[in-house]
Amino acid sequence: MPELKLIIGNRNYSSWSLRAWLAMRQAGLEFREEMVPLDLPDTRQRLLEYSDAGRVPVLFHGDLKVWDSLAIIEYLAETYPDQPWWPEDPAARAHARAVSAEMHSGFAALRSEIPMNIRATGRKVDLSEQAKSDVARVLALWQGCLDQKGRKKADGSFLFGPFCPADAMFAPLVSRFRTYGIELTDSLQAYADAVWTTEGMIWWRDASDQESWTIPGEEVGN
């Protein structure tokens, strides 16, 4: 098999990069990465050298290029079926894909009003009604997964028991909810803490602490 190479943005800010990267890392894949820091004068031109979409993440596998986080995950799940990806049970798998697709295509207000900044803490913002409704929907989605019929606590602390791509899709929200002090019930906080303390997330957070780039207006603690 040719090597896998993932192009990502800087870790502190690039929420879509985190999704693909964490899914790959937690699935145990070996891959190389290259980083294009976001919001610099040459960012656009550098992104276009990798993909006409001008966005990260981008996966290269030999001659193949995949330029979208969820498409990357689906491609890898098909290509490396022996690694742990989606839930085995078809109903749970469909559910996991539905919540992942909803995250992928929605929550625009939430995403723009509380951008990911992993290093920042203690932020307070007045959310619009739409963003509040986005937050409520995410929390309901999480609770719905945790309440699934037949799901046993012993199966794991994540949405579908063991870590799966749905948890990677929501990992940036776990970070945002911490940064902006979004209140969670005890069971949702336990879920968020489980994602926050996965091996991959700890590694990503430590690495984002080492980064020196700061997007204007996104200074830490601001």
Ligand X SMILES: N[C@@H](CCC(=O)N[C@@H](CS)C(=O)NCC(=O)O)C(=O)O
Contacting residues toward ligand X, per CB under 6 A: 9, 14-17, 38, 43-44, 47, 55-57, 68-70, 104
Least spacing, CB of residue 60 vs ligand X, in Å: 14
User: Strand ranges (DSSP E) for 58-211?
Assistant: 58-61, 64-66
The smaller minimum CB distance to ligand X, of residues 38 and 173, is found at 38
- For residues 211 and 36, the answer to whether their CB atoms sit within 8 Å is no
The smaller minimum CB distance to ligand X, of residues 56 and 76, is found at 56
Least spacing, CB of residue 183 vs ligand X, in Å: 26
Least spacing, CB of residue 55 vs ligand X, in Å: 3
Least spacing, CB of residue 187 vs ligand X, in Å: 28
- For residues 98 and 70, the answer to whether their CB atoms sit within 8 Å is no
Residue 180: CB partners within 8 Å, gap ≥ 6?
Answer: 114, 123, 124, 125
- How crowded is residue 38: how many other Cβ atoms within 10 Å of its Cβ? 19
The smaller minimum CB distance to ligand X, of residues 51 and 161, is found at 51
Between CA 159 and CA 169, with CA 164 as vertex, the angle to 5 degrees is: 80
The smaller minimum CB distance to ligand X, of residues 86 and 161, is found at 86
